[in-house]
Structure 1
Amino acid sequence: MHTFVGFPMTFWTFVYIAGAVQAALLALTLWRRPANQAANHLLSIWVALTGVDLAVKALYWHLLSSEWFRAYRFVALFPFLYGSLFYLYVRALVEERRFRPRDVVHLAGFIVMLVLNSYVFVASDTQLQALSARWIAGERTIGLWFDGPLFLYSLSYVMAALALLRSYRRQLHQQRSDADRLSLRWIDAMAGFQIAIWSLAILQALVYVPLLNYGLLFGLVAAWVWMVGWFSLSQPPVQARPAASSSQPGREQGEQEPTAAIDTARFADVEARLAQLMNNDAPLYLEPALTIGQVAKRSGYPEYLVSAVINRRLGGSFCDYVNRLRVEAVRARLADPSESRTILDLAYACGFTSKSTFNAAFKKQVGDTPSSYRRQHAATPVT
């Protein structure tokens, strides 16, 4: 009986089959989800391929039959698709771009490796039996020449996806006050999980460690399927990246962006108007999903000019600016001994949409936690 990581192969067979079944069900569910449809179709294909990968490996390791070796080596090439599919998935989320014929270029790594391993797929039955026997005996016919390029190729796509995500988040912070709520934090977890799996794979190829072998490695892949299901089925519709255009929202038809000198001349007026909107009896920052376009419309100034004033005169992004006002509003209420509402209720009442965003913004601005700040002011005697 073959064993991996101290467990009989039947244990890992069960884990992989369970992961494959879960992947199949998840792929079907994702394909039918109306939210983020273009992205979820790509994710569905990715998850389905992972399920096929797990199922074939489970069957081969359980049967140890040379007839399954050809299929085994074919699915061993699937990881060359995973990094590029992750990039295409993130791109579809933030830009609402479907897979197009020219995106086939992102499958180049898989195609190249398919050609390099073609000798396996045309081998005779006798040759397959010999290759399978060598594989079972631990004499791998592929090594660093396979794992090294896989790691670098896949990692480059993960980094490209994270760069795209960073740009998306930066634009969100310039456009929306609830940017943190829409920042796709689950993508970081997906990327980190993939990097961890590939790092273990390259370590296993370089150094023999009893606990690091294919049993554990693909057990982590099965766990990754579960994690993808957890995050992807609960994701809300994603706010697509604002389209770059020379015609900014809030600018009159035909109006051109003025020179820096003219902009500067209007900054004081725009700043005063913003102060008026944010400090009246019904300040704008109380609106949870406030956007810079809405502020520009209420101010009567073009959006590009409002954005320039916030960035150059008021410091930080639009999201930072609005959250500073919200923190000050919460701070004033926390210092009021007659205020009985909970801290979270106050945060939501002042426009925050996330507890974590509120806590981080409060600590950054005040230098203390909201609960500690409230306790200190509650202990201060009223004179």
Structure 2
Amino acid sequence: MAYGPLIYAYVLTLSGLTIGRRIYLHLIPLGVQVAYYLILLLLPKHSSHEWIQNIHFPWIDYLLAVLVTFSMSVYLYASYRRLINFNRQLEQQRSDSEAFRFPWITRFLILNTVSLTTLCVFLILGLWYPFSYDEHFWLFSIQSLLLLYLSFESWKFGDIQVPLLRDISQCHIHLDQSEHEKALSWQKLIQESAWWKHPEFSLKDLANQLGSNTSTVSQILNKGLGKNFNTLINEMRVNSICETLRSGLEGRSILEIAFSKGFNSKNSFNRNFKNIVGLTPSEYLNSQVPNHKSLKYVKNGANS
């Protein structure tokens, strides 16, 4: 009963939320399960044997399997929801959102969902053909391997500092014409101040510069400009990169140019460039400077 709650607690922690004491409430079913097995151990051997043979194996063992499956289903769903919400907040508030997407968590949850589905099939078949522990053992082995995978990925990326994000989806403000003009003035200020060149520039940083808060700034940008903070910053970066590419590489690779404009990830650069321009970086360069030498670009491993 501990598997689901602990995975959920891990996802909450990884996505920047502080776990309070209420997390222990999620472990109450585990406490009941442990207490049950302790009572079985303390019972006289004869009584314990009779209970296990006549009650536990025919009824309680199957009921526990159903409860564990239900618990895992609920907590996997809750973990998915939290991860989706976290990624949405990243898109709204961070210009370097690619660095905090944690794809291994998504893979881990998907693989656990497959494992859980298989377990459900076993439980349904078990109504007609009870499976022994040995026949279930490979499922437990898969879960152990998944936990080892999660531990390794967590160790590998353990130095990542997760940004603190605020849920601004429920904040609504009314925009009048002056607010629309304010959004345009902020856009001009961001452009002229070149804040977009800083890889870690965030919505919170912008709000601090403007003497406002993230909710107000986000709403004004979204409604005044029709785009969120992340899109605005990356458009400025891509537009600047395009302007530089039209002048030629000047001895630099495309990736070097991209990194000098605020991108800190090859994947983020390629994805945003294609979304905004409609072409890959090399396709755009070929269309603007047909006779350029792209050897350095290819050697650095960018998308072609």
Same fold per superposition (TM over 0.5): yes
- Give the drift of 1:283: 1.8
Aligned to 1:170: 88
Aligned to 1:38: none
Aligned to 2:148: 226
Q: Which amino acid aligns with 2:286?
A: R
Aligned to 1:146: 64
Aligned to 2:166: 242
Instruction: Identify if the C-alpha distance between structure 1 residues 133 and 268 changes in structure 2 by more than 3 Å, giving closer, same or farther.
Output: closer
Q: 5+ residue gaps in structure 2?
A: 293-304
Aligned to 2:186: 274
Instruction: Identify if the C-alpha distance between structure 1 residues 302 and 158 changes in structure 2 by more than 3 Å, giving closer, same or farther.
Output: closer
Contact 2:93 2:165 (C-alpha < 8 Å) held by counterparts? no
1:159-216 deviation per Cα after TM superposition (whole angstroms, max 9, x unaligned): 112222322332333322122312333322332232233223223333489xx94342
- Trace 1:320-359 onto structure 2 (pairs within 5 A): 320-359=231-270
CA-atom RMSD in angstroms: 3.6
TM-score, scaled to structure 2? 0.75
CA distance in 2, matches of 1:141, 1:378: 74
- Secondary structure at 2:163 match in 1: coil
Contact 1:93 1:240 (C-alpha < 8 Å) held by counterparts? no
1:236-278 deviation per Cα after TM superposition (whole angstroms, max 9, x unaligned): 122233388xxx9xxxxxxxx9x72xx4232243233223224
Q: 5+ residue gaps in structure 1?
A: 1-79, 249-256
- Secondary structure at 1:313 match in 2: helix
Instruction: Identify if the C-alpha distance between structure 1 residues 348 and 356 changes in structure 2 by more than 3 Å, giving closer, same or farther.
Output: same
- Secondary structure at 1:326 match in 2: helix
- Give the drift of 1:380: 7.0
Contact 1:178 1:289 (C-alpha < 8 Å) held by counterparts? yes
1:108 aligned to 2:32? no
Q: What is the percentage of aligned positions where both structures have the same residue?
A: 23
Q: Which amino acid aligns with 1:226?
A: L
TM-score, scaled to structure 1? 0.62
Aligned to 2:41: 121
Q: Which amino acid aligns with 2:178?
A: R
1:49-107 deviation per Cα after TM superposition (whole angstroms, max 9, x unaligned): xxxxxxxxxxxxxxxxxxxxxxxxxxxxxxx111011122222333542452x433202
Instruction: Identify if the C-alpha distance between structure 1 residues 276 and 185 changes in structure 2 by more than 3 Å, giving closer, same or farther.
Output: same
CA distance in 2, matches of 1:229, 1:302: 37
> How many equivalent residue pairs?
281
- Secondary structure at 1:279 match in 2: helix
Corresponding residue to 1:311 among 222, 239, 261: 222
Q: Which amino acid aligns with 1:86?
A: I
Corresponding residue to 1:184 among 68, 77, 102: 102
Aligned to 2:18: 97
1:375 aligned to 2:286? yes
Q: Which amino acid aligns with 1:353?
A: N
Instruction: Identify if the C-alpha distance between structure 1 residues 194 and 131 changes in structure 2 by more than 3 Å, giving closer, same or farther.
Output: farther
- Give the drift of 1:361: 1.4
CA distance in 1, matches of 2:200, 2:188: 19
Q: Which amino acid aligns with 1:238?
A: V
